[in-house]
Amino acid sequence: MSQEEEEEENEPATPIARLMQAPAFNFCIIAVMGFRSTIDLDLFKQELGRSLLRHARFTSVLIVDKSSRDKFSWRRTKVDIENHVFALDLDPNMESPDEFVEHFTSEIMKIPMVDMSARPAWEFHVLNVKTSEANSIVVLKMHHSIGDAVSLMSLLMTCAEKITTNCGGSLPILPSEKRQSTSSYYNTGRMVMKTMFVKVWIAIVMVFNTFTGLMRAFATLAFLKDEKIPINRERGKENSSKRFVHRIVDFDDIKLVKTAMNATVNDVGTGVVQAGLTRYLNIRYGQCCRGQNPTYAQMNNFLPKSLRLTSVVCFNLRPYAIIEDLSDIMEDEKQLRGKWGNKIGGALVPLDIVVEDDPLAYVIRAKAVMDQKKLSFEPQCMPIMSKLFIKLFGIKAASSILNRISLNTTLFLSNVMGPREEITPFGHPLCYIAPIVSGFSQVLFITFQSYANKFIISIAADENLVPNPHQLCDDMLQSLQDMKNYVQNRAL
């Protein structure tokens, strides 16, 4: 095969995938999956070969084009599944299995991914140990250039079946967005004029919100940064060791607050993060003992005035809310384009850290800010800005410039939508999935994952600046409980 024919067979990598080859953006998705049964290793590998190894991205290596070191291409290769699935020989009756899984996952996050030109950058670690939440654990690690969390969920659901006896091998049911019909607005001439006025006004608001959002982004690139607080860090300390923890709550609690506030799941999650961080930082500032007086922090405000942190919030830029079935196109690079990959954008969202008497005030503020971001092209502009920087300055310089946003902000928030029913990926019933990202420069990375009747909160925290991430999780859960109680009491 000539060099020209070989290059034609290669699939050019997207600018975002190329950017993630830079050291500052060497991100990996870590997905901790708890299963209801012990993992049958032979069955697990068999199902991987039947499903995952049909996927073009999981059977490709990323190579550097000879013409330019800033250009990368995907090249199909043979995959030996034994080099990607690792089963640890563990004592099933070990002490503190939950702590072991957290420690193992945290250590996996610290290890950089192998050279992506040598073999496809993904691996599974099978832990046949019973925890408080599952009978076995599988940790998936894949390089972020392969795809984002939405792509990962589509992959799991394509490789899965519903746990029902009457539906056989059908695909799982996914959440859908309810869209209100607008036909009634066109019944009369008056409503047509009103609709046109509303559309013009929305366009003006979107232009204004986009402008202010981009100005804040450029200011963050240049000089604007979060003030120093107990969980913040000095600039320049990138990719420090992170500790992984997670909590599972009842999704109905989230839905209860969501319905009461006429909000979205993302609004409630962002409000819970604000409330949890407020509670956590108030304790850190007050340096009081929780065990002796648990209500002390609620009765006193030790926070500095006008304390505000900045979060990078992830937005799914796909034109559809429902993840499509990829089973028929997994092997075709061209058909996967647009449906698989990193189709995400980001927006800078300010989080006010203020002690509130009304726990729902955090959701109200979060909803107001998120509504503003939805009426904005800021999430769409962020990838465009990244591609422009890559084209103008090259991968190395562009990554250094864009990484300043990570260095000047404190946390990253992501909300991943999962199936409404439990599924059986790789031949085993899935109990929960807790995804997180490694390799980032922020102090905190927080992910919300919905799955069946569960809502999983995952946190990756800087070990030096947030030495007790479990307490931060507990504070977030307590904040959600306060919101739930407030809604129920108000309804009475």
Report the pLDDT averaged over residues 244-252: 96
Predicted pLDDT at 256: 96
CA angle 446, 447, 449 (to 5 degrees): 155
Length of the chain: 492
State the pLDDT confidence band at 67, using cuts at 50, 70 and 90.
low
What does the mean pLDDT of the chain come to?
Answer: 84
Q: Are 233 and 407 in contact (CB under 8 A)?
A: no
Higher pLDDT, 113 or 224: 224
Residue 207's pLDDT is 95
In DSSP terms, 63 is beta-bridged to 73
- pLDDT above 90 covers a percentage of the chain that reads 51
* Residue carrying the six token digits 């300390």: 237
Which of 212-221, 285-294, 310-319, 445-454 has the least mean pLDDT? 285-294
Enter the pTM of the model: 0.88
Q: pLDDT band for 429, please (50, 70, 90 cuts).
A: very high
Q: 136-140, 304-308, 379-383 — which is least confidently predicted?
A: 304-308
Answer yes or no: is pLDDT of 240 > 50: yes
Candidates 257, 255, 270, 252; CA nearest to 490 is 257
Q: What angle do CA 211, 413, 267 make, to 5 degrees?
A: 80
pLDDT band of residue 128 (cuts 50, 70, 90) is very high
**Per-residue pLDDT tens for 154-179?**
888 777 754 443 444 444 544 554 44
Rounded to an integer, the average pLDDT of 24-36 is 93
Q: Give per-residue pLDDT as tens, 294-332.
A: 444 455 788 888 889 999 999 988 776 555 555 554 555
Banded model confidence at residue 454, pLDDT cuts 50, 70, 90 = very high
Which of 359, 362, 381 is CA-nearest to residue 370? 362
Q: In this structure, is the dihedral angle defined by the CA atoms of residues 147, 14, 81 and 123, taken in order, positive or negative?
A: negative
Which residues belong to the active site? 144
pLDDT band, residue 182 (cuts 50/70/90): very low
Q: Mean pLDDT throughout 204-221? A: 95
Question: Which ranges of 409-468 would DSSP assign to H, the alpha helix?
Answer: none
User: What is d(CA 430, CA 419) in angstroms, rounded to the nearest whole number?
Assistant: 11
Helix (H, G, I), strand (E, B), or coil: what is residue 76?
strand
Average pLDDT over residues 128-134: 95
